Amino acid sequence: MSMFSKTTILLTILALYMGACTSKKEAEDAAKQSPTPSEIAANQPEVHGMEVKSIELSTPLNKEWVTVGKAAYDLKCLACHKLTDEKLVGPGWAGVTKRREPVWIMNMITNVEMMLEKDPEAQKLLEQCLVRMPNQNLTQEDARKIIEFMRSNDGVK
């Protein structure tokens, strides 16, 4: 490489570096105008923030939904929930459809922030588990299929 091309490359890099830098005051001003993380979070509703008011359960179980619900469990829930009554990160699922109303389960799956803010039972679970359930970005349709799998896990035919 010639001396000219090395010099040209170094000068180009230096110019790009200096052009990319801003003064401390400019950076501080930009930071003051940017929303804080808490302001961003407050303005971001959950992806599926519509509260579920009712669910229709069917007997017999929808076998296709059970299969899809099991696949969703394997992908999104297995890391924190066992199918027994044993607590992992979150509570075990055995008997959950006998202890909780389907609407409660659906809202816990799709509206976890709302539930942790408003529901005393969800708040008790948080105290017991010490870990907030993350929003898994499941649709209400996905959650309904998970409930069908939960019902199957609880022995519903």
Q: What is the pLDDT of residues 112-125, one digit of tens each?
A: 999 999 999 999 99
d(CA 157, CA 155) in angstroms, rounded, equals 6
How many angstroms separate the CA atoms of 156 and 151, rounded?
5
Domain ranges of the chain: 63-153
Determine contact, residues 79/72, Cβ cutoff 8 Å: no
Residues 36-92 pLDDT 10s? 544 544 444 444 467 899 999 989 999 999 999 999 999 999 999 999 999 999 999
Give the integer Cα–Cα distance in Å for 157 and 142.
20
Predicted confidence band at 17 (pLDDT cuts at 50, 70, 90)?
low
8 A C-beta contact, residue 137 and residue 48:
yes
CATH class of 63-153: mainly alpha
Q: How many CB atoms lie within 10 A of CB 136?
A: 18
Closest to 65 measured CA to CA, from 155, 154, 147, 145: 145
- Classify 21 as helix, strand or coil: coil
